[in-house]
Chain A
Amino acid sequence: MEQKGPKVETRPPAVIDWFVRVLIPPAVREAVVGDLWERYRSPLQYASEAMKVLPYVVASQIRRSTNLPLLATQAVLLFGCLGGFVAKEGPRASAIDAPTWQGAALAATAALIGLVLRDAYRKTERWSARRGVFDIVTVVSCVLLSQALIAVAASPDWLLSPTRALLFAISALPGLFVLRLVLGLDGDLRLSSPSAGDAPSVDDLARDYQAFAHRARVRNGVFVAAGLFIVTTGAAFLWYFVNPPPVGYLFVAGHVLVVAYIVLMGAARPMPQAIGFIAAAAHYRGELDRQRRLFRFMWWWFLLPLFLGIAMQAITPGLRSGEILRTLFGTAAVLLLVVFVAMLNRDRARKFQAKIATLSKLAGDD
């Protein structure tokens, strides 16, 4: 007679397995969860081993996916736009309510943690506008969460006022959207060749140029979308604000001009028909150089208000009132921001230069 013993489970319970799968970053999920299955002995052993592995794999993914200059630029952008540099009290207090610097730092830290974790848990490196929108949703959710925590556990002085929150949305969110999305658009900088070792033909070059022009169009579309957001929300803000400062009108007018320039002149010019390889490569190089310059300009343009804001809200009031620490803090923030943005630009320019050099080599220019 067949004896029935206790049923031995060789796989983890579905609920625990689901939790483990959700917690392990997608980039390593397949291999790590498979390894944990292979070592499975009991539900408790499986869960405890997964919890021990988790901090290591998350930390490793954070290290792999974090771009330090980008993270630092985002930190200054968030802190500045949340009003961290604004005087809270005294004769130099800002006309717009600001939280104390602690409140701004807490909200900025929450948003940065959200962005870092989002990068670590990203499924794919592929570029999409949806990705940029989710980045913004992450930032807004984290800032709201930090406000809830502050309301419950800290001083009400640390909370953002509705006006400051609106100003944060106008100034920080488009900048973040542009910063994070545009850096992911590297597809136009890889010269695809038909097969290893073969020199590309004019048709290959034309196909590659079309892909580059498409990417440039998408990138410029991102700039235009961010610019239009700033123009509309900036105009609404000026209408809402009593006695708005003249610099506000200049800010909105400047964005209108830049958006108009990108729409009219930003696209990569189409490659002329029936031209030789050398002329096609020269056209391609010229457009690469033009897009590189446009890209660099846009980078600085979106961050310009932040520089002006820090200068007006931290350095100048600090100098006037003799607060050395405030002046030093503002100056250090501006200098660091310049260094970080220059590092990001240099990295990007290097990729453009590499492609220009490849084209020069193919055209036999060196």
Chain B
Amino acid sequence: MSEPVSLGQFEQLVLTAILMLSGNAYGVTIHARVEDLAKPKRVSLGAVYATLDRLEDKGLIASWLSDPTPERGGRSKRHYRLESSGERALRDAARTARRICDAIEQSEASAWSRRARKWKPAPQQ
């Protein structure tokens, strides 16, 4: 079995965007979707390109050039899709994030119950 790939938070956002866009994932649409996911943070288009290159080098996504389109000055789009290793890495990251959420909720709930036990209403005069 292959080593689990560790993903940074921004890489997770980009992989999620590609997953959501399925057949229409290219620079502009991925950037728009990542901005939605990262709100209220602003995301630079250049950071998305750099992350896409890195994910491709890790073998988590694959890319290909589409036919040229007139609205892009006759230039092609570079489309991206998740590889199976990318999907696996994203699911692992999601499971870890869920465990973190659960742990935070649990600790918040126990802190709340401790505070509730300590709290005593003031005697009525």
Which residue numbers of A lie inside 8 Å of B, CB to CB? 11, 17, 28, 30-35, 37-39, 49, 52-57, 59-61, 63-64
Instruction: Say whether B72 contacts A28, CB under 8 Å.
Output: no
Instruction: Say whether A37 contacts B73, CB under 8 Å.
Output: yes
Contact of A53 among B46, B69, B72 (CB under 8 A): B46
Contact of A30 among B28, B50, B53, B65 (CB under 8 A): B65
Given known pairs A31-B26, A35-B27, A38-B28, the reply for A57 and B49 (CB within 8 Å) is: yes
Contact of B75 among A30, A53, A54 (CB under 8 A): A30
Instruction: Say whether A33 contacts B44, CB under 8 Å.
Output: no
Instruction: Say whether A53 contacts B76, CB under 8 Å.
Output: no
Q: How far is the CB of A249 from chain B (nearest CB, A)?
A: 49
Q: Mark B80-106, 1 if CB is under 8 A from A, else 0.
A: 000000000000000000000000000
Instruction: Say whether B57 contacts A28, CB under 8 Å.
Output: no
A30 to B53, CA, bound (A): 15
Q: How far is the CB of B11 from chain A (nearest CB, A)?
A: 14
Instruction: Say whether A59 contacts B50, CB under 8 Å.
Output: yes
14 A-B contact pairs sorted by A residue (CB < 8 Å):
A31-B65, A31-B77, A33-B75, A34-B69, A34-B72, A35-B28, A37-B71, A39-B28, A53-B45, A53-B46, A56-B44, A56-B49, A56-B50, A60-B49
Given known pairs A52-B45, A53-B45, the reply for A60 and B50 (CB within 8 Å) is: yes
Instruction: Say whether A31 contacts B46, CB under 8 Å.
Output: no
Residue on A with the closest CB to B32?
A39
A35 to B27, CA, bound (A): 6
Instruction: Say whether A31 contacts B27, CB under 8 Å.
Output: yes
Residue on B with the closest CB to A51?
B46
CB contacts (< 8 Å) of A35 on chain B: these are: 26-28, 45, 72, 77
Which residue numbers of B lie inside 8 Å of A, CB to CB? 26-28, 44-47, 49-50, 53-54, 57, 65, 69, 71-73, 75-78
Q: How far is the CB of A55 from chain B (nearest CB, A)?
A: 7
CB contacts (< 8 Å) of A61 on chain B: these are: 53
A11 to B76, CA, bound (A): 16
CB contacts (< 8 Å) of A17 on chain B: these are: 73
Q: How far is the CB of B73 from chain A (nearest CB, A)?
A: 5
A242 to B57, CA, bound (A): 54
Residue on A with the closest CB to B48?
A56
Instruction: Say whether B57 contacts A57, CB under 8 Å.
Output: no
Q: How far is the CB of A41 from chain B (nearest CB, A)?
A: 13
Residue on B with the closest CB to A29?
B75
Q: How far is the CB of A37 from chain B (nearest CB, A)?
A: 5
Given known pairs A38-B28, A64-B53, the reply for A57 and B73 (CB within 8 Å) is: no
Most buried by B among A17, A37, A54: A37
Instruction: Say whether B75 contacts A34, CB under 8 Å.
Output: yes
Given known pairs A31-B26, A31-B76, A64-B53, the reply for A56 and B47 (CB within 8 Å) is: yes
Given known pairs A31-B76, A34-B72, A38-B72, the reply for A54 and B46 (CB within 8 Å) is: yes
Q: How far is the CB of A171 from chain B (nearest CB, A)?
A: 35
CB contacts (< 8 Å) of A64 on chain B: these are: 53, 57
Contact of A60 among B26, B54, B72 (CB under 8 A): B54
A28 to B69, CA, bound (A): 17
Most buried by A among B26, B45, B46, B69: B46
Instruction: Say whether A53 contacts B49, CB under 8 Å.
Output: yes
Q: How far is the CB of A337 from chain B (nearest CB, A)?
A: 28
Instruction: Say whether B71 contacts A38, CB under 8 Å.
Output: yes
Residue on A with the closest CB to B71?
A38
Residue on B with the closest CB to A11?
B73
Q: How far is the CB of B24 from chain A (nearest CB, A)?
A: 13
The 7 A-B pairs at the shortest CB distance, nearest first, are namely A56-B46, A34-B75, A31-B78, A34-B72, A35-B27, A53-B46, A60-B50
Residue on A with the closest CB to B68?
A34
List 5 other contacts, CB 8 Å, given A33-B73, A64-B57: A30-B75, A31-B27, A52-B45, A52-B46, A59-B50
Q: How far is the CB of A209 from chain B (nearest CB, A)?
A: 32
A35 to B80, CA, bound (A): 14
Given known pairs A56-B50, A60-B54, the reply for A30 and B45 (CB within 8 Å) is: no
Q: How far is the CB of A22 from chain B (nearest CB, A)?
A: 15
A38 to B27, CA, bound (A): 10
Instruction: Say whether B49 contacts A34, CB under 8 Å.
Output: no
A35 to B48, CA, bound (A): 12
Given known pairs A30-B76, A31-B75, A37-B73, the reply for A60 and B65 (CB within 8 Å) is: no
CB contacts (< 8 Å) of A32 on chain B: these are: 27, 49
CB contacts (< 8 Å) of B71 on chain A: these are: 37-38
Q: How far is the CB of B59 from chain A (nearest CB, A)?
A: 14
